[in-house]
Chain A
Amino acid sequence: MYRETEIIKDAPQFGEPGFGDLVINVGPQHPATHGVLHLIITLNGETIKDIKPNLGYIHRSIEKMCESLTYRQFIYVTSRMDYLSAHINNHACALVVEKGLQVEVPERAQVIRVLFDELTRIASHELWWGAMAMDLGAFTPFFHSFRERETINVIMEETCGARLTMNYYVPGGVMWDLHPDFQKRVKDFITLYKKKIHEYDELVTGNIIFQNRMKGIGYISPEDVISYGCTGPVARGSGVHSDIRKVSPYSIYSKLDFDEVLETGGDSFARYVVRIKEMHQSIKIIEQLIDNIPEGDFQAKTKAVLKLPKGEYYQSVETARGELGVYIVSEGGTTPYRIKFRSPGFSNLSALNHMIKGGKIGDLIAAMGTLDLVIPDIDR
């Protein structure tokens, strides 16, 4: 049995370094880790001395699984990585297969994909907003954000047939055409969003307690962002130009008018502001496209059995969390020889220790909230 004497056997004595430290396991079951993340934190009083993330609790070896699936099949598995950006993950995989096959995706399919990507991004940020506020102890925002997110889910359900893991993108286009109600629903959503978005500021952004919890917490400098490989809102919160939609545009993003949101604060509040502004930018993109969906095919003609020519293929996209890269090595067969995903959450998590060391437990929770970690994305 687990006795007290065993626990303190190796503890440092008075005067030795590390005396009085408290080692706590935050997770794998903990309300603030939103999944099975396990952080081993060393505390001195309330002050954090060290954080060691411990991964592997939800490792499903998706990369290995993909190696035994055909190029049509492996896309659906990637919805299970970062399930909040399911469409965007699928987009990356579809793009890399199309690159290998040299398929030209019809204009209509590209527009549909971008529309769904941006809707996904908003839905993901809505969920993040609620969950982050819940980490800080405010429960109400969670339910309010779900009201808007639900509207998006209904749109997804109507066109793609599912609410979370849609598997709507196929190599060469999308699986089905848009639902006839799609445009009306999206416009309704935009109206609702514009009507309710001021509540986000009233309830959370402007709140003095929230600002004090966020400002100056979890600072990371632009240099450190680059050396840790952080991407997405974490990098842009420190002013690092990293939006893949701008840096190396894919699909039709180069033709669209939107801004890359950059903040220079580098703290949790900057990351928060980046995400809120990104939602506005996504709305801007959707507004540009929703009335201009070109007619035409929604899927290019592809062979029944897809075979990528021998070679290596890489494509990165901007998910709601940062850069997702898909790297495929093909030996010319029907299944990938090797596949590797570069997931944004993993690199962002690695900066956590650097951000929080010396802070309080409350800071850890606040900073972790603004990293927007999705554990299956980190572990895959």
Chain B
Amino acid sequence: MFIKDYIKDIASALKSLATGMKMTGYYFTHHKEIITEQYPDNRDTLVLAERFKGEVVMPHDENNEHACTGCTSCELACPNGSIKIITKFDVDAETGKRKKAIDTWVYHLDLCTMCGLCVEACPTNAIKMAPTFEHSVFDRNKLVKKLNEDGSKVRAGVE
């Protein structure tokens, strides 16, 4: 039955096409399904996961103190050398002992791949990843950051 098969072919083909069109037609008429996020406009309401690995930051408390002892574990852990820690020796005013401390915690955001290995390696949890992602600048020198703030010192009791 050549003719019968021929017509059957056409009918099933048209049916499959109609199924597809029904589905796209559904979405055409149901605008509540739209999933677009209007990014720069929804900046205020945009919630990023708190674990989002955006850049490395060093939290400072209200006394301008941080927890970094200058052990350079993070520098060793970083696979791309985006961390450079310059240390100095502080002299304790009371005991007169010399103690290692950081002078500058240099962070190359331009080299960083946001892997989070430095945060893993830090024994004192002095650094963490911040959920920021708008890193573009016109001058790449701006991507080299100093993470410890001016005049900050290590929190007492952190070894």
Contact = CB atoms under 8 A, between A and B. Distances in A.
Interface string B129-145: 10000000000000000
Nearest to B54: A161
A125 B35 CA distance: 20
Interface residues of A, number: 30
B16 A147 contact: no
Task: Give the bracket for the number of chain B residues in contact with chain A.
Answer: 20 to 34
A356 to B, nearest CB: 26
Given A158-B51, A206-B19, A207-B17, A147 B35 contact: yes
Contacts of B23: 199, 202-203
A150 B12 contact: no
Interface string A132-171: 0000000010000001001000100111111001010010
Contacts of A199: 23
A205 to B, nearest CB: 9
Interface string B17-31: 101101110000000
Interface in A326-365: none
A157 B49 contact: yes
B155 interface: no
A202 B27 CA distance: 13
Contact of A162 (B24, B35, B53, B120): B53
A77 interface: yes
Contacts of B129: 161
Interface in B22-60: 22-24, 35, 48-49, 51-53
B77 A72 contact: yes
A76 B48 CA distance: 22
B49 A167 contact: no
B116 A167 contact: yes
B35 A202 contact: no
23 contacts: A73-B77, A73-B79, A74-B79, A76-B117, A77-B79, A140-B24, A147-B35, A150-B35, A157-B48, A158-B51, A161-B52, A162-B52, A162-B114, A167-B117, A175-B120, A179-B49, A202-B23, A203-B23, A206-B16, A206-B19, A207-B19, A207-B20, A208-B16
